[in-house]
Copies of this chain bind each other. A is one copy, B any other.
Amino acid sequence: MSHWSDLVADKKRRQAESIPKEWLISPPPDTLLDVTAFPETCGLLTAHEIEITNTLVDVLLRKLASGEWTSVAVTTAFYKRAIIAHQLVNCLTEIFVDRALARAAELDAHLKTTGQVVGPLHGLPISLKDQLSIQGLETIMGYVSWIGKYAEKNAVLVDILIQCGAVPFVRTNVPQTLMWPETFNNIFGRTTNPYNRLLSSGGSSGGEGALVALKGSPLGVGSDIGGSVRIPANFCGLYGLRPSYGRVPYSGALNSLEGQDSVLSVFGPMTRSVSGLKAFMRAVVHAKPWLKDPLAVRKKWDEEEYRLADHGHGEKLCFAIMWDDGVVVPHPPVRRGLETVKAALLKAGHTVIEWQAWKHRELGDMTREIWNAASAEDYKVTTSATGEPIITSMALEPGPAVIAPFRPSKDGISAYQLWQVQKKRRMVRQEYTDLWEASVARTGTGRPIDAIICPAAPFTATPHGLNRYTNYTTVWNALDYPACVIPVSTVDPVLDAKKPAHAFIDDYDRKIYESYDPETFKNAPVCVQLVGRTLEEEAVIGMTELVAAALAQG
């Protein structure tokens, strides 16, 4: 058997060969940190391709459905820009240009012949995280040991997207094991942040985050077990939705920690507009995924819920803002993001009250205890086929000083011990439900709070290896609340100057707070997170739209 590094070399060679020569660019120097303007100035894209790739999902779908733009034109434009993005931030894994363009041509022919679209996503190129198997392609997922394993069939979600008329066109980079909030592995290396390449793109869907931010894809699919859609959305300035367990089909996708039935990974959309979130979720749910995936929830898309029928029909909502989680106080730009949203909501006529975090530290600890009940053995078994090294840090130069949030415990625990943690978690889920219901006394709307607005992390995109705290996203996975990241601003050294220290909660809080420096974090996107109730994806999208509209007015 080959040495693991030979397998890597072979895969990298094959990846390089999959890039059309004519799409290779002269990359900018590493010292160019913000590369977001580069795709449009490098000379590879035509004016029309620039126009296409600057267009948001709802308009793209309209122009594709009317035949004004062909799928071949749209797919080509995004593919070229994706390949540019890859040369800037190293975001892709599988590249299959001919196959995608052939599919696009089929769709164009269908529309021309029948006058009908194939489905609600007709002609739209969609990028996929490197778990979503496509027949005939490898699904490597950051594991050397999975090089050369070609999928015999599509993941259910891929089938559904195809049935909806979409064009899966690239797959995107992830960290080994998926259980890191940054993106680095032994095969494809590291994905960096297009707003500042010294910063992380987040993870584990960091390839998607970087690609979509560079407009190399109009819509990407990430997965989220502890924040893996929302962390890269937060770091890269995107809308990113973490749906409830089972709302989007997972069957047939590869994953880590398989058989862990408690805190489940879910797929969700990452895109530059609320319209993209809605188009994806509506199309996928309309396709009745529960007929194909035993874990998909049989709940129809509810347009009334989207129109906020359960939330005053969008009039005079009451949002709760959680400024911090009682564990780590956010950096100044994150605070400013929340203040901006609060002001916009008040101006739009809504009410904003305070939300006190309830056992967030405990929820995060329990969740990691559940994953780590057997994660070390899971990783060991998976990597044993090739002897590839298990990565122990996301830092540029891994060292023992780095605190890794998802490090597995050395030994697993017993099933009984696991059940006791799961039982404790269920009790906190009940307490949170009760607290949410009890908020009716404080809202003045006759309803409990409509949503929680909170940070998606205590910081904006961090330098590589320093994304050490993920509870701001993980708690909502533990509670199974749908949550959406909303972009607000970017770090501005003037607006976001260092602030006098608060009374530190503990040394951990102090260390994270002191790591802030406006120059280090310069230009990083600033986002907030909106959190709704379980299986209320429709309303979460509706409320995200409302917040985005308020911000646009503000």
Asked if B294 and A260 sit within 8 Å, CB to CB, the answer is no
Asked if B294 and A432 sit within 8 Å, CB to CB, the answer is yes
A177 at the interface (CB under 8 A from B): no
- B252, B298, B429: the one contacting A294 at CB < 8 Å is B429
A11 at the interface (CB under 8 A from B): no
A413 to chain B, nearest CB (A): 5
Contact with B along A408-434 (1 / 0, CB 8 A): 000011111111111110100110110
A297 at the interface (CB under 8 A from B): yes
Asked if B534 and A259 sit within 8 Å, CB to CB, the answer is no
In the bound complex, residues from chain B placing their C-beta under 8 Å from that of A534 are 290, 294, 298
A259 to chain B, nearest CB (A): 3
A18 at the interface (CB under 8 A from B): no
A89 to chain B, nearest CB (A): 34
Question: From A299, which residue of chain B is reached at the shortest CB distance?
Answer: B299
Other 14 A-B pairs with CB < 8 A, given A259-B420, A413-B415, A415-B417:
A252-B430, A258-B423, A260-B422, A261-B422, A291-B533, A293-B433, A294-B480, A295-B429, A297-B535, A298-B535, A374-B419, A378-B419, A413-B414, A414-B415
Q: Which of A295, A437, A534 has the most CB of B within 10 A?
A: A534
CA gap between A290 and B436 in the complex, in Å: 12
In the bound complex, residues from chain B placing their C-beta under 8 Å from that of A378 are 416, 419
Asked if B298 and A533 sit within 8 Å, CB to CB, the answer is yes
A281 to chain B, nearest CB (A): 15
In the bound complex, residues from chain B placing their C-beta under 8 Å from that of A421 are 259
Number of residues from A at the complex interface, CB < 8 A? 46
In the bound complex, residues from chain B placing their C-beta under 8 Å from that of A297 are 297, 299, 535
CA gap between A110 and B235 in the complex, in Å: 58
Asked if B419 and A259 sit within 8 Å, CB to CB, the answer is yes
In the bound complex, residues from chain B placing their C-beta under 8 Å from that of A258 are 419, 423, 426
Mind listing 5 A-B residue pairs with CB under 8 Å? A258-B423, A259-B423, A294-B534, A374-B415, A377-B416
A6 to chain B, nearest CB (A): 30
In the bound complex, residues from chain B placing their C-beta under 8 Å from that of A260 are 419, 422
Asked if A426 and B479 sit within 8 Å, CB to CB, the answer is no
List residues of A whose CB falls within 8 A of some B CB: 251-252, 257-262, 290-295, 297-299, 373-374, 377-378, 412-424, 426, 429-430, 432-433, 437, 479-480, 533-536
- B298, B374, B412: the one contacting A299 at CB < 8 Å is B298
CA gap between A251 and B257 in the complex, in Å: 27
CA gap between A429 and B295 in the complex, in Å: 9
Asked if B415 and A373 sit within 8 Å, CB to CB, the answer is yes
Question: From A537, which residue of chain B is reached at the shortest CB distance?
Answer: B298
Asked if A292 and B437 sit within 8 Å, CB to CB, the answer is yes
CA gap between A298 and B433 in the complex, in Å: 13
A225 to chain B, nearest CB (A): 14
Asked if B433 and A294 sit within 8 Å, CB to CB, the answer is yes
A404 to chain B, nearest CB (A): 20
CA gap between A415 and B372 in the complex, in Å: 9
A478 to chain B, nearest CB (A): 10
Question: From A296, which residue of chain B is reached at the shortest CB distance?
Answer: B534
CA gap between A298 and B414 in the complex, in Å: 33
Question: From A479, which residue of chain B is reached at the shortest CB distance?
Answer: B294
In the bound complex, residues from chain B placing their C-beta under 8 Å from that of A536 are 298
CA gap between A437 and B296 in the complex, in Å: 15
In the bound complex, residues from chain B placing their C-beta under 8 Å from that of A412 are 414-416
CA gap between A417 and B260 in the complex, in Å: 11
CA gap between A535 and B290 in the complex, in Å: 9
- The answer to whether residues A291 and B437 also contact, given A374-B416, A414-B412, A430-B251 and a CB cut-off of 8 A, is yes
In the bound complex, residues from chain B placing their C-beta under 8 Å from that of A251 are 430
Q: Which of A412, A432, A480 has the most CB of B within 10 A?
A: A412
CA gap between A418 and B374 in the complex, in Å: 9
A52 to chain B, nearest CB (A): 37
Give the top 8 A-B pairs by smallest Cβ distance, nearest first: A259-B419, A259-B423, A374-B416, A373-B415, A298-B535, A294-B429, A259-B422, A374-B415
- B291, B294, B298: the one contacting A430 at CB < 8 Å is B294
CA gap between A458 and B536 in the complex, in Å: 42
Asked if B430 and A374 sit within 8 Å, CB to CB, the answer is no
In the bound complex, residues from chain B placing their C-beta under 8 Å from that of A533 are 290-291, 298
A170 to chain B, nearest CB (A): 27
A409 to chain B, nearest CB (A): 11
A333 to chain B, nearest CB (A): 33
- B293, B418, B437, B480: the one contacting A259 at CB < 8 Å is B418
- The answer to whether residues A261 and B261 also contact, given A299-B299, A377-B416 and a CB cut-off of 8 A, is yes
CA gap between A294 and B295 in the complex, in Å: 17
CA gap between A280 and B260 in the complex, in Å: 33
CA gap between A512 and B415 in the complex, in Å: 33
CA gap between A426 and B374 in the complex, in Å: 18
CA gap between A412 and B418 in the complex, in Å: 11
A371 to chain B, nearest CB (A): 10
CA gap between A423 and B262 in the complex, in Å: 12
In the bound complex, residues from chain B placing their C-beta under 8 Å from that of A422 are 259-261
